Amino acid sequence: MSAAPATRPTLLSLASAFPPHLLTQEEMYEGLLKGWYEGIASAEKTVFQTRVRRRHMAWDPRETLAGGSVGTGDRMKVFARAVLEVGGASVGAALEWQDLRDIGSFAMASCTGYTGPTPDLHLARRFGLRSDLRRTYVGHMGCFAAFNVLKVALDAIAARPNERVLINCTEFNSLHFRPEATLEQAVIHGLFGDASVSAVLGSAPDGRGVQFLRSHTEQLYDGHEMMTWNIKNDGFFMTLSPYVPFVLAEHIEAYLDKLLAPEGLTCGDVAHWVVHPGGPKILELLAEQLRLTEEQLRASWHVLSEYGNCASGTVLLVLEELLKKGSPQPGEYGVMLAFGPGLTIEGMLLRF
């Protein structure tokens, strides 16, 4: 009797959804940001240097913030509604061809809103998932949180290989735009958008989909003040140092050695790069440091242009774009990377 084929954690489905308000960068600037930053001479240039062309938003900030800031509670009311509508759309699409009886775990991430029970319960109830479903909600970890839910999925699959795991990242950054007239906030308000991305993972033999081979996490503790995300009475408040791209570029090669060397690989063995587009400078410096071609970062630049930085879901949007138009070949390797508060670098080694 021949042995059963070896299986690995594998991406079985991937789907995205977006809120209804779609604004070009010109509409956002002329309709709101121009008034906020009229005293800052370089604000307009800064906003358009983000290379974001348009963004989806859970509300139209030109209307809701025309009279100034609004309270955190009012923002959370919009989150509670939008997370079920938009999150539900991406979850439903990811589950479309799945046997719901196989979904044993559900891990969800969001750093842009809080409700209790957490949204994963409401989504699980809506789609009729099992009552013994294991649920994990990851909050406030920022742009790298997709890796937290992916690692929950990988652990769940290792423990229960016959089950499948649903993951979701839903972020509404637009709910936290604020009228502080600083250049730092001009960058943030020109960069971030809203999205929801869901996926199902399970054990599968080679050739059934994208395989997750290993992960690595690195905390750059000395950079803990370079990116922050805190709750205030009138919404959440972000700080973002302009030095973040330079610090990431300085450490990325040592990081990748820790991710790749245990598999006997180097950067030269990686055909596809799924890089979180935290901002244009991050992509530019990493491309220079790692000697990546324009095509290798095409999916990252596309997501930045068409959706903006959507926090935790962004790296999954890049993976979705790569799978749609990048034509990765079976057996080729890829690397997923994201960055966030900590300063934290998260990554995974993929095989297509």
Q: Is residue 126 part of a domain?
A: yes
- Do 200 and 264 belong to one domain? no
Whole-angstrom CA distances from 241 to 48, 64, 85, 120, 184 are 18, 28, 33, 32, 8
What is the pLDDT at residue 327?
87
- Do 171 and 217 belong to one domain? no
Q: Is residue 294 part of a domain?
A: yes
- Do 253 and 325 belong to one domain? yes
- Do 200 and 220 belong to one domain? no
- Do 238 and 199 belong to one domain? no
Work out how many domains the chain is built from and give that number. Answer: 2
Handedness of CA 287, 290, 294, 299 (dihedral sign): negative
Between CA 224 and CA 233, with CA 228 as vertex, the angle to 5 degrees is 145
Contact residues for 271 (Cβ-Cβ < 8 A; gap 6+): 296, 328, 329, 332, 333, 334
Could you read off the pLDDT of 52-67 as tens digits, one per residue? 999 999 999 999 999 9
What's 181's DSSP letter?
Answer: -
Q: Is residue 1 part of a domain?
A: no
Q: How far apart are the first and last CA of the chain?
A: 29
User: Which of 205, 226, 257 is the last residue in one of the domains?
Assistant: 205
Nearest CA to 31 out of 74, 70, 64, 78 is that of 64
- Do 159 and 19 belong to one domain? yes
Domain membership of residue 272 as a residue range: 211-351
- Do 81 and 197 belong to one domain? yes
Peptide bond into 117 cis (omega under 30): yes
- Residue 46: its H or E element: helix 43-48
Q: Is residue 84 part of a domain?
A: yes
Nearest CA to 218 out of 339, 340, 345 is that of 345
CATH number at residue 101: 3.40.47.10
> Which stretches does DSSP call E strand in 163-257?
164-172, 194-205, 211-219, 227-232, 235-240
Q: Is residue 2 part of a domain?
A: no
CB-based contact 180:122 (threshold 8 Å): no
- Do 190 and 241 belong to one domain? no
Q: Is residue 248 part of a domain?
A: yes
- Do 251 and 169 belong to one domain? no
Rg of the chain over CA atoms, in angstroms?
20
> Which residues in the chain land under pLDDT 50?
none
Whole-angstrom CA distances from 279 to 47, 309, 331, 333, 340 are 11, 7, 30, 24, 12
User: Which of 170, 205, 240 is the last residue in one of the domains?
Assistant: 205
Burial of 68 (0-12, 13-18, 19+ CB in 10 A): exposed
What is the pLDDT at residue 1?
53
What is the pLDDT at residue 5?
66
Quote the pTM value: 0.96
One DSSP character per residue, 244-304 reads HHHHHHHHHHHHHHHHHGGGT--GGGEEEEEE--S-HHHHHHHHHHHT--TGGGHHHHHHH
User: Which of 205, 222, 243 is the last residue in one of the domains?
Assistant: 205
